Amino acid sequence: MGEPHTFHPTLLREYDIRGIVGTTLTTADARAVGRAFGTMIVRKGGTTACIGYDGRHSSPELEEALVDGLVSTGLRVTRIGLGPTPMLYFATRDREADGGIMITGSHNPPEYNGIKMMLGKGPVYGAMIQELGAIAAAGDYATGAGSAERVDVQDAYVARLLKDYDGVRDLKIAWDAGNGATGEILRRLTATLPGEHILLFDAIDGDFPNHHPDPTVEKNLVDLKKAVAEHGCDIGIGFDGDGDRIGAIDHLGRVVWGDQLVAIYAADVLKSHPGATIIADVKASQTLFDEIARLGGQPLMWKTGHSLLKAKMAETGSPLAGEMSGHIFFADKWYGFDDALYCAVRLIGQVSRSGGPLAALRDRLPEVINTPETRFQADEERKFQVVREVKERLKAEGAQVNDIDGVRVQTPDGWWLLRASNTQDVLVARAESSTQDGLERLKSMVVAQLEASGLEAPSFENGGNAAH
């Protein structure tokens, strides 16, 4: 038995551990996570773990504390150092370690940090994260004489990324690392990758001095769009803070959103996996599900959340899955985890082989008009209750409802979605139609449902006419 430790109530989230450094997340918390997670690995018969960290200022000291905790449980710990989250996933799979821990605040503001974990080949989320909290609260830790060693996996990781590059003509590519953890790997990757490469903000800097490292928000892509235009690039690629989410720009400066990328990849993957199941989250455009079916695949709509999609992929044997948020997972030739650098290599290869620009692949999809995700406050208890009330009313009316994650309602005008966020005290709404009038009708349906549940409806903004 060890010293019991209680985490701040906001620290243990659905998919990871995340908090404000020095306030809700301290080195004592990191040590306790190491002891508790190490205990979970040991009790499952494991003996080894890999650990890595991102470019935030607080990451090295949190890593030290976590290593202490892991070693105290008797594990042999491999420290891979600074790099993107998928490099840690790669090291854990490549070295067949029993667990993996990444210290990262992903795309959160600089004062945040967090921890993502994998046990065996799968993600740690939901009840497993709560179990970690219970082990720490009881001080019920395994103990043993563990050890730690530093290992550089960067060259092995870059070589594995390059192995699946299958392009036939050189492209000119602008890259925006957003001062996140991908910078060094990106330099090594582009030094060998064919074509001409323009690198933006590849210096790793936890203050993110140029723009917020989230490529799924259009205002963070301004510099990338400018570089694509100035240099006459074929394509622009952006990464989030820890390199597990991708953003892309075509040569016309248009954003190619997460669900559009999945549709583009699906055309390639279904050639070698005919009839396979391709998974996307409930926020994805109907054009993606239609395109998967058109290509002969089985579209599967699933819950939003990278851990949930990974688990569903493993269960269905799906070769490809993706979310609106830019988490895209290849199990075709790859390991089934979300790796934006790998996604970039596959995208460049596919565009290179297509004979045309990325824009042509994007424009195969029908144009739709949609709203961005509209978020609005609803307290933790009430948000799930509102979704239940809406679902009951819709079912009573005989509406066509998919309730896998909130409610997604299909009408002749298109669809609308209302779901409770797993990570914030908000409800999320979205609507998509082929016409502006149709979109207005869908938006008023959402508003009417919210008002029927006594909530003040959000003011919807319209997105562009891309699936967004």
- Active site (catalytic) residues: 106
Angle at 106 between CA 100 and CA 112, to 5 degrees: 105
Q: How far apart are CA 21 and CA 103, in angstroms?
A: 12
Q: How far, in Å, are 77, 344, 389, 439 from residue 186 at the CA level?
A: 26, 11, 48, 40
- CB-based contact 352:167 (threshold 8 Å): yes
- Find the length of the chain: 468
Amino acid letter, residue 183: G
Give the pairing of strands 112-119 and 172-176. unpaired
Give the pairing of strands 255-256 and 277-281. unpaired
**Sign of the CA dihedral running 285, 177, 160, 71:** negative
Q: How far apart are CA 115 and CA 59, in angstroms?
A: 10
DSSP-assigned letters across all residues of 300-329: EEE-SSHHHHHHHHHHHT-SEEE-TTS-EE
Instruction: Quote the tokens at residue 430.
Output: 């979205």
